[in-house]
Structure 1
């Protein structure tokens, strides 16, 4: 009979490696009254059958930091707990079979150097030296990470659980959470039932959903959206192979395969391009260490290639054919953090086959966040608040999961779009854009025109690491905005209406800039945290004495709304998501004024409608609101029109624009224009970790206001001077392309990496933004150095500037 307390500070639901890691790290921070409940036996869901590959390099600096932490933790756990973790640093090799894959690997190797991960680019013959059993026919090269490892997943989890118990946590197996009791935005208790028929209730200050592939259902119980879906994951283990000794982990992503030596046997695992979703009818109550039905036909194409690639596998015979479920999320990043619509429900679930290498770091980061109430560093990649409400739809998850598993080993081409679960959110202009050659991308479920195909051109992406098939299309769109007039659809951007008697006071506390402005004024501002870091990058338009419109990036709409709600306090104000209520067309370029004057009797002159103001207008035979702002660095307006009149607005503007040479433009063009102007992109150039002063955005903060969130930190940084500066780089060679994460070299030494990169069609070469550490240094000293950018191992000279290289005085936007 389980002995469980009636009260706890936290109840962790799920005893896989992630739940055990959260318990371990909370107790390490001194938390008492930590209770972990596991429905069956620890590790019995997914952890027990994981492959145990422990790699360091991830797609971003902070995810890499967490993976490196996991390695260090697992290396020391055995000594701390006495439980053998089987952790060994065996190294890893990734082999490419195409030139495109090799470029991806070489770019990732450059990124690894920027992140402080030891890496080596190796030739096919050097791969053969390190992995003699491999058939290197068709291999174009690869990378070697000497400090990557492998371990025993179940024992690592049990070691974490033991560490948590040693510091006072209650870890209880064979107890299922049957209900979660809520009061408003808070969970108050959980009801449990033991396998022996006993039951009870635990009052709790908070819960953590670490339920893995049950995470979606546990989330529903708590009133929280946790989008994930289980898929079948296949591997085989060979019979013992005579003389087989320790080998590096080997990945051959072009054949969807990975190989691991373990105790004289060889494991072959697969991430096939089209996966098999599992558990659509729910997961059996009795599920515990279960294997799924074999499907040799599904696995056979990968095995066939593997036997050719690793001849010894064909001779050894198969000892085990294994099929087990793992959970996948819509964007292949795990879910971590405080659930957006609850104040004490935390999530750590959906680890997309990288749970073992991620669990140590994820547990550490979440525990720190729970302990202080603030993220320890930027976790935007995995923050659960990035997930849109509709993404909890089971049919959507079923369709997207087919693709999600295979994307792990697919070519990670820049601008690659998802193929599955598309067409869900469409702007009012969707069909009209398609009729004009739009090629759609997807962001947060929104279908957005990324570029426009010419007549007779195939209206789809052809992916490569070189200049893609739309490069010249974007160049023409870019030129239209710079030299004449372009129009693009911004309807997907979030629109939050904040209104009430305390709206001004509330926004003045949350925003760095001053919100005490006249009606019609548009203010560019940031939501700051207590450290002066940037939680959101928005524009705020005062609509009336008591109402404001906050415009946010499409991807962070929910996160930004959540930040507002969490900081509302006792202020009397209502926050409403009105994103779908208005379509938005951006009309940008030197001739933007001429077009608007052709369709509206209103006055668009500098005197009547200066930069940073909005006005109600007549447009065609309808009504709209014209905001004079620009994210592309040109004269222009964002035209907000209610969805019922959106089609009329588009037709009116498009028809009137034809004699003027109006060109429809896509999101790729918006991005290439903004990077030339050194406008920051939230999530890349500016994050919760980046002080607004270092980001070069202190002009958007009014320190003369009464106290507001982050004021003291901004004042202190202004006093001390920036610790780093955001620098714009222009390559001196017009051919190479920049994406992001390329290392920045200052006087020959790596000092950082590009936070974003793109091609500057007006400037004539690729442009990047990135932070250069400069504590105690003047701007002149920063610019006195010589700079290079490492592109797949080749150093390319770059010109550095602290001011925008395009229109540094912003004369165009104010024209």
Structure 2
């Protein structure tokens, strides 16, 4: 075995071999792959091998589409034969809400050039003659779906990688990983040690073991997944064409032809975790005994839907380990807090996603960022709250809901509450409904009168039971004063003699003056927006940086990985030490004046400035005159031990002013009216500040900053699309994420976030539109749940266009 390599990949399943192959394809041939057993052992060898392109996430759809396109040419590309069949697939819908989901996903696919089709019951019978169509509303046809032999796919990746110079070491278990004083990684294995610059953990369901070797807990649990294979069925023996793959998401199973029999794979409610006390050392190509009682109901449903299934006896049952994460999505990207260590594991659908995963991780390792923004798969999307108890609860929930409709505004209950502020119980007593954001419980809405038993979810806004409540909350903020407990706002303190120069280099815009603040954008070397933070300058070389709760570990890594090594800049994470109350609305000054002696006048406390104020027993509150809803107002950053007390003081003082709590749904409506971007919804790293229409936050003349030269090149090449607000002429449904925008029959853009503006009473879709059309008054159409609606490009912001209310200069 080599003693040194530039990159070591740990794990020889489909994903690990794909990573090695893609690294070599990108020109990095100094790669060694280590596998504890034979290639394809782990989850790969017993995977069913289904290859859908379908996904409710546009970038996961891109990843899976890339994979199936790769599989169509890989055998020839690497000269290795594979059994890969594109049969197409039918997804069944037993409700109109399921049809809405299909219509939306079909629209997303259309924007990528994928031609899905909506099917009637008779059309489904044409594709699948053995189908019973009772209680069906319709279905969806995916022409590129199919199946592949997982072992052959893995061996094809491996051959391609070897041919390009990659070294693959089988039967070579990794036993320890340490980082050397020079920052390189030393890996101990059964065959000796190897030192490398970078490590990719592609350990599959053993990914947690690899992470533990470098002192990390990565949220993965192993679940038992069963599928059964039937004997030959006479009706299939007589056919000369393979049946399409069939999925019944409402009854939670898939059914596909395997030779002359069928494979039935359910996702049952009795999801079963294994190995909570540690994985057995030598479990690699083994299975567990079958447990058909768990899936009996699903077998009965499938037999009723496809009666010929009953004619095939059970030839064998596959009951094997499959890794699950808290959201069912894999980990692809940098490990938190570690330099040059990456995770690429935790795949529940590793066969169809392996091709795209290899591309993504290779780009991240070699170029620093991938073509697509894969925040949904970033290992740092979970922080310290994601313990084993959390991951088990959420993984079981995900498995049970594997095929469930991904409704907008659905707040699933497992693994909650994880992190709460001292205000949480107070809001709970008021009947608030909550959602989890970055592990933190936040109120999403407050019932007006009697609390309903549950929150209704639907693609159609008119079916929601919280519309009137959210409208009332928006009215309170716009016309009186509202209060929001915004737990988990990420907060960092940056200090030191080099802090100012370093931060100035890190952001694209101007630095704030002492006592002031600015919204700032941090770019990659390619000029793409990696994150957004508010920078507040407390002293000459002392700053507070505030960003999204979900981005805590991502943003911390971004800052620390770019920090100078000379000790001139110090960093501290203050997130858990301070809570945040938003007090906003035209009467917010009147309210705060009752409880603090600070001068809150425009002259003494202008917009985008800060002061330390005292409220009640809390003597050191950092008050920032800024907010995300576009009104006169303040963010109060309060030491956590005083947060409950300060909340009580605020609410008591506001009684005669009509104070009201408001939640995240109201905040979202208010921010849409101001066209404020949301991180990792509107702001993704596929865009530059110019495409995001954030030109005013860029100063190309200030001197060097990270990404400046690339940004200038983007300008020279021309900005092909721009961020604009659209007003849509539809009231019953809002535009879901990634709804296509049309000019005639041409797709000219895509929405990023949408919702109803309760104040302006208009349906808003923030969108990226072809630059020549991104001008006020352009008339377009937006596809919402299969129907096109007229839309017009408007000018931002839609509410209070002169920002007079925030400035209080009416």
Tell me the TM-score normalized by structure 1: 0.96
Q: Does 2:383 align with 1:396?
A: no
**Counterpart of 2:422 in 1: which secondary structure?**
coil
What is aligned with 1:814? 807
Q: Does 2:543 align with 1:548?
A: yes
The within-5 A match list for 1:653-672 is 653-672=650-669
Indicate if the aligned counterparts of 1:484 and 1:590 stay in contact, CA closer than 8 A.
yes
Using a 3 Å threshold, how does the CA distance of structure 1 residues 811 and 518 change in structure 2: closer, same or farther?
same
Shift of 1:91: 0.7
**Counterpart of 1:243 in 2: which secondary structure?**
helix
The within-5 A match list for 1:116-515 is 116-183=113-180, 186-193=183-190, 199-244=191-236, 245=239, 246-352=242-348, 354-391=349-386, 393-458=387-452, 460-467=454-461, 468-515=464-511
Indicate if the aligned counterparts of 2:778 and 2:792 stay in contact, CA closer than 8 A.
no
Shift of 1:579: 0.7
**Counterpart of 2:339 in 1: which secondary structure?**
coil
Q: Does 2:526 align with 1:531?
A: yes
Cα distance in 1 for partners of 2:28, 2:636 equals: 52
Q: Does 2:38 align with 1:45?
A: no
Indicate if the aligned counterparts of 1:187 and 1:207 stay in contact, CA closer than 8 A.
no
Cα distance in 1 for partners of 2:69, 2:695 equals: 38
Using a 3 Å threshold, how does the CA distance of structure 1 residues 771 and 184 change in structure 2: closer, same or farther?
farther
Shift of 1:145: 1.2
Cα distance in 2 for partners of 1:214, 1:514 equals: 46
Indicate if the aligned counterparts of 1:73 and 1:360 stay in contact, CA closer than 8 A.
yes
Cα distance in 1 for partners of 2:611, 2:264 equals: 63
Indicate if the aligned counterparts of 2:736 and 2:784 stay in contact, CA closer than 8 A.
no
The within-5 A match list for 1:90-101 is 90-101=87-98
Cα distance in 2 for partners of 1:638, 1:30 equals: 49
Cα distance in 2 for partners of 1:716, 1:81 equals: 36
CA offset digits 1:580-638 (Å, max 9, x no partner): 11111001111111111121121111111111001111213432221101211111101
CA offset digits 1:196-243 (Å, max 9, x no partner): xxx311111121100000001111102344221111111111110123
Indicate if the aligned counterparts of 1:437 and 1:455 stay in contact, CA closer than 8 A.
no
Cα distance in 1 for partners of 2:648, 2:286 equals: 58
Cα distance in 2 for partners of 1:635, 1:242 equals: 74
Using a 3 Å threshold, how does the CA distance of structure 1 residues 784 and 600 change in structure 2: closer, same or farther?
closer
What is aligned with 1:577? 573
Indicate if the aligned counterparts of 2:433 and 2:446 stay in contact, CA closer than 8 A.
yes
Using a 3 Å threshold, how does the CA distance of structure 1 residues 584 and 801 change in structure 2: closer, same or farther?
same
CA offset digits 1:539-561 (Å, max 9, x no partner): 11111222111100111111011
Indicate if the aligned counterparts of 2:731 and 2:763 stay in contact, CA closer than 8 A.
yes
Shift of 1:721: 5.1
Shift of 1:408: 2.0
CA offset digits 1:734-776 (Å, max 9, x no partner): 22222311111124421121111111111213211111122xx
Using a 3 Å threshold, how does the CA distance of structure 1 residues 220 and 575 change in structure 2: closer, same or farther?
same
Cα distance in 2 for partners of 1:719, 1:521 equals: 33
Using a 3 Å threshold, how does the CA distance of structure 1 residues 557 and 19 change in structure 2: closer, same or farther?
same
Gaps of 5+ in 1: 194-198
Cα distance in 1 for partners of 2:182, 2:223 equals: 32
Cα distance in 2 for partners of 1:61, 1:657 equals: 44
Using a 3 Å threshold, how does the CA distance of structure 1 residues 720 and 597 change in structure 2: closer, same or farther?
farther
What is aligned with 2:760? 763
Return the match for 1:115 from 112, 117, 129: 112
Shift of 1:331: 1.8
Cα distance in 2 for partners of 1:679, 1:489 equals: 19
What is aligned with 1:629? 626
Cα distance in 2 for partners of 1:111, 1:183 equals: 46
Shift of 1:398: 2.0
Indicate if the aligned counterparts of 2:332 and 2:378 stay in contact, CA closer than 8 A.
yes
Name whichever of 784-793 and 6-15 sits farther off.
Answer: 784-793
What is aligned with 1:803? 796
Name whichever of 472-481 and 565-574 sits farther off.
Answer: 565-574
Shift of 1:447: 1.0
What is aligned with 2:52? 55
**Counterpart of 1:110 in 2: which secondary structure?**
helix
Name whichever of 449-458 and 354-363 sits farther off.
Answer: 449-458
Return the match for 1:12 from 9, 12, 26: 9
Q: Does 2:605 align with 1:609?
A: yes
Indicate if the aligned counterparts of 2:385 and 2:419 stay in contact, CA closer than 8 A.
no
Shift of 1:784: 5.3
CA offset digits 1:767-792 (Å, max 9, x no partner): 11111122xx485xx44532111012
User: Please, what is the CA RMSD of the aligned residues?
Assistant: 1.7
Using a 3 Å threshold, how does the CA distance of structure 1 residues 448 and 185 change in structure 2: closer, same or farther?
farther
Shift of 1:169: 1.3
Shift of 1:532: 2.1
Cα distance in 2 for partners of 1:538, 1:747 equals: 38
**Counterpart of 2:611 in 1: which secondary structure?**
strand
Total equivalences in the alignment: 800
Indicate if the aligned counterparts of 1:64 and 1:115 stay in contact, CA closer than 8 A.
no
What is aligned with 2:76? 79
Cα distance in 1 for partners of 2:600, 2:699 equals: 29
Shift of 1:35: 1.1
CA offset digits 1:93-126 (Å, max 9, x no partner): 1101112212111121122112221111111111
Indicate if the aligned counterparts of 2:532 and 2:679 stay in contact, CA closer than 8 A.
yes
Return the match for 2:645 from 642, 645, 648: 648
Cα distance in 1 for partners of 2:212, 2:76 equals: 39
Gaps of 5+ in 2: none
Tell me the TM-score normalized by structure 2: 0.96
